[in-house]
Structure 1
C-alpha cells in the first residue's frame, strides 16, 4: 500500500516531460467582476503550485493572492460593490465549513456569517447594499436551510426542507430571492420558488407537477436592473435545456424558442437589454447575443472548440475561457485585446480529437478519440470515463488524457447515457439500472474500437474519476474479460456504505437515481454496487482516494479493498490527505505518475 508522503521534488521546467509541464503551467479561470465596480475582479490560478483565489484591480493592473491554504481554495465570490471577497473555508477538502470574507485590497479574514454553524454549502447570493447575504446550508441533521444574514444582525431562517435545495439568486434591488428546490423528491429536476426576505412566497414554477417529475428548471439570474422582476431561468420543456424569461410579479413567461440544437444556456448583458447565449452541441460550444427587443440572435465569434465559461462586460464586449483538445485554455475577449495571460511557462499542446458515433442499445453514442500523431492501430487504449454522471466530455483541453497520449496510448472518451448535452431523455436514461446502463454504452464503443483496428483488445485500460471511477470498478466486475486493468480515482466502490457516509445532497441524488434508499430498494443498490462483483474482478486494480472525501467516502473504498486483499487480487491503493481530488499541482502530478507506472508494470 502506498501512502502520501508530501510533494514531488521540484525540477527545472526544461527538464520536464511535456505531460508534466501541462500540469505545472500557470492557468487562470475566467475572471469574475463586481457588478458595481467592474474594474475589480476575482479569479482562480495555480501559479503558486496550488489552486487559490486572486484579486485583480484592472484599473491599476495589480494582482494579489487572496487565499493560501495547504489544500487550495477555489470557492469564492466577489461582492457586488467590489469591497469584499467571500471564500469558503473547509478542512482539507471535506467541503464542510463556513464562509469567510476579506477586504478586496487585503487584510484579515473574518467570519462572514456569525451565528451560522459549519455546513455543506448550498448556494450564496450577496446584496448590493454591502450588508445582506442569502446563505444556503446543508447538513445531515437539518437537510437544507436558507438564511438571510445581515451585518451585525442574527441570521434569519428563510427556508427549511429535508430534500436538497439551493440559493438561486437575489434580485438587483434585494427584494426578491429565487431558490431551486426538490421538495417533490426528484433531485435531478428542480422546481423554483421566489420569496421575499421575510419568507413570504411571491411566485412558484414547478414543471414536475402532476407526478411526471421529468422536467427540470434552473435559476440563471435576475435582470440586473433595479425594480426589474424578470428572472432568467432554464427549462427542459422541449427535451433539452433552453432559457426563458419569467416575470415573477406578473407570471408572464417569454419563451425564446431559439433554433439551436443541443443545450442552450444564457446570462444577462449588464444593461438587461439582451442575453449572452451559450450553446453546447456534440461536444463543442459557441456563443451568441440575443436582443430581447428585436429577438435577433447574432453569433459571437469564437474559435472551434469549447467555451467553458463566458461573461458580458459593461462595454458590451464578451470575455470567455476557451480551449480545444489540441490547444490549452486561454481567457479571450471579443475586443481582440489580451485579458489575463499568466506569466511563466506555457503549456504544451496535444493532439486534436476525432468524433466517433456508435450505435448502442439506447441510441447513437458519441465518443471522442485521440491517438499519438502518426500512430496506427491496434494501440494500447485507455477508456477515460467522465464523472458526474450528469456531465459530458468535450473538445476541450485535458492534461490527463494528453499524458496517456504522450506515452503511446490512444484515448477514448464516451458520452454514455446519463451525459448532458444530448437531450433530456439521454441524461435521464440511467435511472434504476444505475451504472449498468452506462457500461452497456461503453461496451458498444469498446467493440467499435477493437473491430475498427484502433484498439488492441489485450491492452485495454478502463479508468475514470468520481463517477468515472465508480464505472471503472463496476466495469471490472461486470465485464471481467473486457479489460486488462482498471484505474479508479475517488470512486464509489460499495454503494450502500457510500450512501450511509456521503453528504445529504448526494443521498438525495442516489434516491432519485435508484428509486429509494438501500432499505427500500436493496436489489437495485446491490445490482449497481461494484462490491457485489468484486470477486469476479480478474484485472489488476489501482485505486486512489482522498481521506477527507465527502462524496466518495474512504470507508466504502476500504470495504472494497479488503475484499480484494482477502483473495490476493493484484491491486494498489494510494491515499492522500485531501477530499474529492486535489488542488495541489505536485500531488496531481504524483497521482498521474503512479497511474502511468501501474499501467507500465501490468500491461506488458
Structure 2
C-alpha cells in the first residue's frame, strides 16, 4: 500500500501553472511551475527561445516579470494571507526592495508594470477604499494615488507611454457589480473619459494598445448579453464593438496586437473552448487552435484576471496555453513555420475525460455539468462545485478528479448559476437568491446523475473550495437526503461570524452580492437577512451527513473562527463534524498540499462508506 503523502503519479511536481508575459516589445515571460511545497519560476525569451534556470527567489501565480527580465514583483503577504505590501526582487536573488514603505497592509485587485518597467500600477484595497496607485520601481518617487473610490475598483491598466491609467469600477452604479471603465490622466489625476454600458453593462478594460502614442483600449463588454471585444479611444470617444453575431456564447477577450490588427479571444460554448483571432479591421474571425481542452481559465477577486491564458507574443504570434482533462497545462508557440513546443505537459498516467451535458434546473434553466464514471463497479459519486461564485470549471487537468476515478468513484463538476462564460444572465442568475438558485442547480445535477445509475445518497459526497465549500455545507443542510458527506475546503460556514474578520476587498464584494435583488436592484438592508439564509450554520439541525472542514490558518477570505463556530453548532446538534487545518491562506500550497487534501478526503470517504463517523479520526 502506498504511503500517504508519498509521490503520486497523478500529482506530478513540476507541472506548468501559468505563463506571465512582461510588457514591452521583447515580451519576456515568467514561467511558473508547481513544486512540492510551492512554485518555482524560470524566464523565457520568446525571440531566442531560451529558457533560464530556476530562479533562486519565491514566485507565485501572480508574480510579474519586468520587461528587461531582471526583476519580479509580488505581494509579501506572510504566507498567503493576501494582505501585505509589494516587494520587488532581482531574479538572481541579490537585491530586494519594499515598494510601498510606510504604507499599511493592503489587498491587491490588480497589478501591472509599465512598458519601460519604470513604474508599477497597483489596484490596492484597504479599509479606506479601493485605490489606483502608481509606484516607482526604483523608489525614486513616493507612490501616487491616482484614483480612490469607496465602491469596488479592480484591474488597473497603464497606457504604453504611461500617460493614462484605466480602472474598472462600480462607482457609476454603486453597489451593483456592473462595472464601467474610468480613464485617468496620470499627470493631472483627473478623470478624462468613461466607457459606460449601463444599465446593460458591464464593460471592462483588457489592456491599452502596446503601441506608444496609441491610447486606445481593448474592452470586454456584455452589451449584447454575451462577452465580446470592443476597441475604444478614451481621448476621441470613438468605439468599435465586434458583435461576432455568428458565434453563440461568450468570448473571453485575451489580447491585442494592433500592429498586426489581431484580437485574440477564446470562444466558449456549453463549456467548450476554441482559440480565435478576430481581424481588427473587418471583424471577421478565424480559428487559431481547436484541439479540445481549454485556452484560458478565468480568475475572480484576485490580482490578475486569469489563472492562465493564451496570449500574443512579441511579433503578434499566438502563444497557446492549453490543457484538457487528461493532459496537464502546456505552452505552444504558433509561428509561420509551424507549431513549436515551449513547455511540454508533464507526464501523467492515462486518464478519463469528463463529458459535458446540460441539466435542467427547477425553473427550466439549463446548467452545464461535466461528468465521468470509472470502468467497473462504481463505489460512490463525487460532486465537485467550484469557488467564486464568478468562476468556472473548464476542461483542464484536475489530478484529484482523475484520482477519485482511479479509486472507483464517479465524478461530476457543476457550473451552477453564477458561473462565468455562459453569458450575463447566467452569471448574474444567483443574485438575490441567498443560495436558492445554486441549491436548485445542485439538486438538478444529482437528479440527472441518478438517471445514469449514479449518485446513490448513501455513497455520494459533495466537495469544493471557497464558495464551493460554502455550497457543499449549504447542500448538506438544505439537501440532506442527497449526500452522505461534504468535503468543504476553505468554506464560509458562518457568514455573520466571518463578516467583521474578512479582508476589506472581500467584504466589499460580498456586501454588493448580498445586497442585490433578482432584478439587479441594490438595497443594503437585504444583507442581514441574506446572511442568515446564506449561512450553513443556520441549517445544522437538518444535517444528517458528515462534514469535513479543511481551513487555512492564515485565510482572510474565509477566516478561521467562523469554521470553529459552525463545528460547535453542528456538534451540539448531534452532527458528525471534523475541522482540520493547513498552514497557509486561501488554498494549500504546492502539489503536495493538493495531494494531501485528496488523500485525506479519500480516507474519510472510506470511513463513511464503512458506516463510521469522521469526528475524532
User: How high is the TM-score relative to the length of structure 1?
Assistant: 0.91
1:278-427 alignment runs, 5 A limit: 278-308=266-296, 309-334=309-334, 335-341=338-344, 346-362=347-363, 363-372=365-374, 374-375=375-376, 380-427=380-427
Aligned to 2:304: none
The 1:113–1:241 alpha-carbon spacing in structure 2 relative to 1, beyond 3 Å, is same
Aligned to 1:159: 147
Q: Once the two structures are superposed, what CA deviation does each residue of 1:578-604 show, in whole Å capped at 9, x if it has no partner?
A: 110112222222221111000000123
Paired residues of 1:185 and 1:508 also in contact (CA < 8 A): no
Query: What SS does the aligned partner of 2:327 have?
Result: coil
Aligned to 1:98: 85
The 1:112–1:65 alpha-carbon spacing in structure 2 relative to 1, beyond 3 Å, is farther
Aligned to 1:4: none
Query: What SS does the aligned partner of 2:464 have?
Result: strand
Which one of 213, 216, 219 corresponds to residue 233 of structure 1? 219
Aligned to 2:189: 199
Q: How far has the Cα of 1:460 moved from its partner?
A: 1.1
Paired with 2:217 and 2:279, the residues of 1 have a C-alpha distance of: 16
Paired with 1:409 and 1:320, the residues of 2 have a C-alpha distance of: 33
Paired residues of 2:383 and 2:411 also in contact (CA < 8 A): yes
The 1:337–1:520 alpha-carbon spacing in structure 2 relative to 1, beyond 3 Å, is closer
Q: How far has the Cα of 1:533 moved from its partner?
A: 0.5
Query: What SS does the aligned partner of 2:328 have?
Result: coil
Paired with 1:569 and 1:192, the residues of 2 have a C-alpha distance of: 48
Q: Once the two structures are superposed, what CA deviation does each residue of 1:511-554 show, in whole Å capped at 9, x if it has no partner?
A: 22221798654222111110110122111111100011111111
Q: How far has the Cα of 1:105 moved from its partner?
A: 4.9
Q: How far has the Cα of 1:120 moved from its partner?
A: 0.6
Which one of 89, 95, 109 corresponds to residue 96 of structure 2? 109
Q: Does 1:264 align with 2:251?
A: yes
Q: Once the two structures are superposed, what CA deviation does each residue of 1:235-258 show, in whole Å capped at 9, x if it has no partner?
A: 111111111101111111101111
Aligned to 1:249: 235
Which one of 585, 590, 605 corresponds to residue 599 of structure 1? 605
Paired residues of 1:535 and 1:564 also in contact (CA < 8 A): yes
Query: What SS does the aligned partner of 1:550 have?
Result: coil
Paired with 2:105 and 2:477, the residues of 1 have a C-alpha distance of: 39
Q: How far has the Cα of 1:127 moved from its partner?
A: 2.0
Which one of 175, 181, 185 corresponds to residue 186 of structure 1? 175
1:73-222 alignment runs, 5 A limit: 73-140=60-127, 142-150=128-136, 151-183=139-171, 184-186=173-175, 188-197=177-186, 198-208=188-198, 212=199, 214-222=200-208
5+ long unaligned stretches in structure 2: 297-308, 517-522, 611-617
Paired with 1:283 and 1:139, the residues of 2 have a C-alpha distance of: 36
Query: What SS does the aligned partner of 1:338 have?
Result: strand
Q: Does 1:548 align with 2:554?
A: yes
Query: What SS does the aligned partner of 2:530 have?
Result: helix
Paired residues of 1:139 and 1:504 also in contact (CA < 8 A): yes
Aligned to 2:615: none
Which one of 528, 536, 559 corresponds to residue 530 of structure 1? 536
Query: What SS does the aligned partner of 1:458 have?
Result: helix
Q: How far has the Cα of 1:444 moved from its partner?
A: 1.2
Paired with 2:161 and 2:406, the residues of 1 have a C-alpha distance of: 53
User: How high is the TM-score relative to the length of structure 2?
Assistant: 0.89
Paired residues of 2:121 and 2:156 also in contact (CA < 8 A): no
Paired with 1:10 and 1:462, the residues of 2 have a C-alpha distance of: 23
- Between stretches 224-233 and 269-278, larger displacement belongs to 269-278
Paired residues of 1:144 and 1:164 also in contact (CA < 8 A): yes
Paired residues of 2:390 and 2:420 also in contact (CA < 8 A): yes
Aligned to 1:500: 500
Query: What SS does the aligned partner of 1:22 have?
Result: coil
Q: Quote the RMSD (CA, aligned, Å).
A: 2.2
Paired with 1:60 and 1:394, the residues of 2 have a C-alpha distance of: 29
Paired residues of 2:18 and 2:61 also in contact (CA < 8 A): no
Paired residues of 2:27 and 2:313 also in contact (CA < 8 A): no
Paired with 1:252 and 1:160, the residues of 2 have a C-alpha distance of: 26
Q: Does 1:43 align with 2:31?
A: yes
Q: Once the two structures are superposed, what CA deviation does each residue of 1:45-78 show, in whole Å capped at 9, x if it has no partner?
A: 1245422333335648352434655xx7332112
Paired with 1:190 and 1:221, the residues of 2 have a C-alpha distance of: 15
Query: What SS does the aligned partner of 2:17 have?
Result: coil
Paired with 2:454 and 2:100, the residues of 1 have a C-alpha distance of: 56
Q: Once the two structures are superposed, what CA deviation does each residue of 1:128-174 show, in whole Å capped at 9, x if it has no partner?
A: 3432222221112x111222223411122211122221242100111
Q: Once the two structures are superposed, what CA deviation does each residue of 1:406-456 show, in whole Å capped at 9, x if it has no partner?
A: 110001111111111211111111112222210101101211211332332
Paired with 2:583 and 2:527, the residues of 1 have a C-alpha distance of: 34
The 1:477–1:283 alpha-carbon spacing in structure 2 relative to 1, beyond 3 Å, is same
Paired with 2:527 and 2:265, the residues of 1 have a C-alpha distance of: 41
Q: Does 1:63 align with 2:56?
A: no
Paired with 1:304 and 1:74, the residues of 2 have a C-alpha distance of: 24
The 1:48–1:535 alpha-carbon spacing in structure 2 relative to 1, beyond 3 Å, is closer
Q: Once the two structures are superposed, what CA deviation does each residue of 1:547-587 show, in whole Å capped at 9, x if it has no partner?
A: 11111111111110111232442222111111101122222
Paired residues of 1:458 and 1:483 also in contact (CA < 8 A): yes
Paired residues of 1:381 and 1:455 also in contact (CA < 8 A): yes
- Between stretches 313-322 and 430-439, larger displacement belongs to 313-322
- Between stretches 160-169 and 436-445, larger displacement belongs to 160-169
